[in-house]
Structure 1
Amino acid sequence: MSGNKLWSKANTSTSQLIEAFTVGRDKDFDVLLAEYDVLGSLAHTEMLAAVGLLSREDLVLVQEGLKTILDEIRAGAFSIDKDVEDVHSQIELLLTKRIGEAGKKIHSGRSRNDQVAVDIKLYLRAQVLALKEEVSQLFDLLIDLSDRFRDKLLPGYTHLQIAMPSSFGLWFGAYAESLVDDLEVLAAAYQVANKNPLGSGAGYGSSFPLDREMTTKLLHFGGMNVNSVYAQMSRGKTEKIVAMGLASVAATLSKLAMDCCLYINQNFGFISFPPELTTGSSIMPHKKNPDVFELIRGKCNRIQSTPNELTLLINNLPSGYHRDLQLTKEILFPAIEEGKACLQMTRLMLSHIEIKDGILEDEKYKYLFSVEAVNELVNQGIPFREAYKQVGNQIDAGTFSFDYKKGLHHTHTGSIGNLGNEQIVKEMSIVLTKFA
């Protein structure tokens, strides 16, 4: 029969089969919300006392009890009992067991709907900030590598065909700037997660004189979801928007990982890593496999499916709360952890990257400088189309040559000779202020 349910009425029960199906994996992810559930209750009960719905004596008992539970959660000493449905029930039951009747008063003016909504908002806000820190650290590393290897040339490709000269400074810097745009998306997700739904109840407000502005300030939200119906509609939508920010970061990491898989290949041979960061073969003793980058690529491609999976889950739901929303946790929460791990592993790998010298001395790259040769002729007054034809004829005749060691003249912003990293760093600093 059913376990300990705060919402159970007299002479009612739920079969174990139904209970197991409806709870599913929810308790596994609810543990991640425990800290935020207590923080929400601390703010809610302080507000209840302020509006006269909780005595000062009861408030003292409740706040002390909740803070003790919070300490236990942060120490890793909290779990949800087998017969308790969710984290909200566990905390309220634990509090009531310890302080008595006052613990039963903390749910006044609140529904589990807005309780879980505020928990998820607080959790996602914290996770977005954690992702921001990871992205920022990777950005700093990429800028450092770009500056350090600005003069190391490598071939650039279009259609996977040798195209024009590039550099490691340009390559690393490109991914640094990509992260700036990714953080723009993540910053937008932060603004959405940084709104307080608490006080919306089951989605239709309350007849109690709740002070929602007070709980918004106590929980350090930037604002609130004003309309109580929309506060519930923001469930699922908030998760999807955060997933979009995460997916944007993942797209950059996946592309970078793919480049690394190519560049470590013997047919390219541009980069290498210490043996302890690669793996071998069970039968081929020469192998140094880029397994870490292959897994980053695979994991980040899966992460990019997260917004679509959430869309399929919530797309046809009408307004109001629906149990489908419970499933957003098992879709998004693991994806966030995978995203942070991929950021950390990318940073670890790039911290040990080794760059090959003299890459462009290989004969197969001699046509890499055909555009340079055309531009030299144009600078001498020859029309572009005529210069293009002359160089093309030299290539066809096998007589083309270009001494790139005399120097390449790329001076515009964002080119080999003028990376523009200072501007990129400035753009990143502006984006980071959006997480204040």
Structure 2
Amino acid sequence: MKLWDKNEPIDQLFERFTIGKDKELDLELAYFDVLGTIGHVKMLGKISLLKEEEVEILLQELEEIKESAIKGDFMLEEGVEDCHSQIELLLTNKLGDVGKKVHAGRSRNDQVLTALKLFTKHNLEKLVKKVKTLFELLQDKSESNKDYLMPGYTHMQVAMPSSFGLWFGAYAESLIDDLLLFKMAYQIADKNPLGSGAGYGSSFPLDREYSTDVLDFAALNHNVVYAQMTRGKNERSASFAISSLASTLAKYALDICLFAGDDYGFLRLDTRYTTGSSIMPHKHNPDGFELVRAKCNKLQNLPQELNMILANLPSGYHRDLQVLKESFMPAFKQLMDCLDVTIAMTGELAVNKEVIDQKKYDLLFTVEEVNRRVIHGVPFRDAYNEVAKLITSGKYQPDRNLRHTHLGSIGNLANDQIKAAFEMEYSWFQLA
């Protein structure tokens, strides 16, 4: 069954090519298509295109289809093109002519777009909740490790003392900026396109404000041509949010892969989250974080991938837009998996509390030595040159007591302020 079928023969190769991965992806989209259809049916009843009893039996049947989608029992029958066709087929088979009325005032274009926007909102919300879990874990790690110094690096060389508290807290704060992009993406997805038809509206007296309320959209895409233009913009906007969070996770994973290695030794991974070597019995490899890094680096390319599909498309619907789903829809689960693994491995991450006691970090406190001399009245440039000459001549003797001075200067992690900023952004999603 095809919603556009006019009983004309279709070449099988052409049909297989044009359907692509829709059958596979539509099993995930079906639940949201049912939601959109429920809203449409209610609206058709409100404007009297459906009788009250017709609305009642349609909604009852749609609820059953929705439950089958939730349970994973929803399937596309042989010869059925997509979930939209399957849902209408189920309604027609069960309800006869009443099922055939459900598509009045709607095109498959605004039907798909509505389902995609509902799908996007739902999955953005799921990711945001998982981000909160990671944020709270990083904050806890930051607080519990704020008194333990670690070497800071610039240009991949030892620079100045940092702390494990600062390092964990940095990634916690990074998640706040990621939430800003999630908010932007959610706001774009949270506008109702239903009723725009194929992009040119309908001669039926559709009540689009009513369907907006029923489907829990915050607002309406008013211009019907622009409503269809949001196919692509919706996916691209969400892809920027996905890419931003993926960037944070990839950088974090890279740090851990370095810092847990023997050459650094800052961190220790729980052996439950490592793999071994087939010939080297001592190995405990950070494969989990390496795969997070790789998968998140791939996700960072998602906006560009979508942009290349959307490039040079004029207004109106084009079949090119179907291809977006193949990259866009799986990206949410891929990122969720990366978050889950990151959370699990971070929870068991241990820090080396004595790492800076090693001789190779003797020069870590040279800035503190310069600052100590400045405090005692030496001009900064002179103090800098004095310490530099000691280092060059090999006469510099590190004062280990200076670590306490520096720890005091970086001990205020501003975690309370960071938590407040995160909660402010997170609460927006709760209100939305």
TM-score range, shorter chain: over 0.9
Whether the aligned pair in 1 keeps the contact of 2:270 and 2:345 (CA below 8 Å) is no
| Aligned match of 2:127 | 131
Corresponding residue for residue 3 of structure 2: 6
Query: Bigger shift: 264-273 or 138-147?
Result: 264-273
Question: How far 1:410 moved relative to its partner?
Answer: 4.9
Q: Displacement, 1:6?
A: 2.6
Tell me the amino acid that sits aligned with residue 134 of structure 2: L
Query: 2:384 is aligned with what amino acid?
Result: Y
- Which amino acid in structure 2 is aligned with residue 259 of structure 1? D
User: Which of 410, 413, 429 is the matching residue for 1:416?
Assistant: 410
Alignment match, 2:141? 145
Conserved in 1, the CA contact under 8 Å of 2:368 and 2:406?
no
Corresponding position of 1:371: 367
Say whether residues 1:160 and 2:156 are aligned partners.
yes
Is the Cα–Cα contact under 8 Å of residues 190 and 219 in structure 2 kept in the other structure? Answer: yes
Structure 2 residue 223 is the aligned partner of structure 1 residue 227: yes
Read off the aligned partner of 1:293 and give its amino acid letter: F
The answer to whether the aligner puts 1:249 opposite 2:239 as a matched pair is no
Are 1:180 and 2:198 counterparts?
A: no
* Cα separation, 1, equivalents of 2:400 and 2:40: 69
Number of residue pairs aligned between Structure 1 and Structure 2: 430
Question: How big is the shift at 1:356?
Answer: 1.2
One of 35, 38, 41 as aligned partner of 2:37: 41
CA contact (8 A) 2:181 2:244 kept: yes
**Cα distance, 1:410–1:434 mapped onto 2, change above 3 Å:** farther
CA distance in 2, matches of 1:165, 1:5: 65
Task: Kindly state the Cα deviation for residue 152 of structure 1 after the two structures are TM-superposed.
Answer: 1.1
1-structure distance, mates of 2:55, 2:313? 38
Looking at structure 2, the residues matched to 401 and 338 of structure 1 have their Cα atoms a distance apart, in angstroms, of: 51
Unmatched runs of 5 consecutive residues or more in structure 2: none
Give the distance between the partners of 1:332 and 1:307, measured in 2 at CA: 9
Q: Distance in 2 between matches of 1:406 and 1:310?
A: 52
The answer on whether the counterparts of 1:409 and 1:417 sit within 8 Å (CA) in structure 2 is: no
Paired AA for residue 417 in structure 2: Q
Contact conserved, 1:410 with 1:418, CA < 8 A, in 2?
no
Query: Which residue identity does 2:371 align to in structure 1?
Result: N
Q: What's the CA shift for 1:367?
A: 0.4
Aligned residue for 1:404, secondary structure, equals: coil
Distance (whole Å) between structure 2 residues aligned to residue 192 and residue 287 of structure 1: 47
Where 1:317 maps in the other structure, the secondary structure is: coil
The match for 1:98 is: 94
What amino acid is the match of 1:392? A
2:330 corresponding residue in structure 1: 334
8 A contact 2:161–2:406 mirrored in 1: no
- Are positions 1:298 and 2:325 aligned together? no
Letter paired with 2:186 = Y
Mapped to 2, the partners of 1:328 and 1:83 lie a distance apart of 23
Equivalent residue letter for 1:319: S
Instruction: Please state whether the residue corresponding to 2:410 is helix, strand or coil.
Output: coil
Does structure 2 retain, via aligned residues, the 8 Å contact 1:169–1:416? no
The equivalent residue for 1:425 is 419
Q: Residue type of the partner of 1:6?
A: L
Match of 2:232 in 1: 236
TM-superposed deviation, 1:205:
0.6
With the length of structure 2 as denominator, give the TM-score of the two structures: 0.98
SS at 2:2 equivalent: coil
Distance in 1 (CA, whole Å) between partners of 2:202 and 2:400 is 74
Asked whether the 8 Å contact 1:411–1:418 carries over to 2, the reply is: no
List per-residue Cα deviations over 1:379-400 (Å, max 9, x = no partner). Answer: 1111110000011011112222
Cα displacement string for residues 350-371 of structure 1 (whole angstroms, at most 9, x for unaligned residues): 0001111211110000101010
Distance (whole Å) between structure 1 residues aligned to residue 156 and residue 309 of structure 2: 38
Distance across 2 between alignment mates of 1:331 and 1:278: 29
Distance 1:24 1:397 in 2: 70
After TM superposition, the score normalised by the length of structure 1 is 0.97
Report if aligned partners of 2:138, 2:172 keep a CA contact under 8 Å in 1. yes
**Residue 403 of structure 1, aligned match among 399, 413, 422:** 399
Separation in structure 2 between the aligned mates of residue 119 and residue 405 of structure 1, nearest angstrom = 62
Superposition map of 1:276-291 within 5 A: 276-291=272-287
1:59 corresponds, among 42, 55, 61, to 55
The structural deviation recorded for 1:434 is 2.6
Separation (CA, whole Å) in 1 of partners of 2:350 and 2:252: 16
State the alpha-carbon separation in 1 of the partners of residues 399 and 241 from structure 2: 45
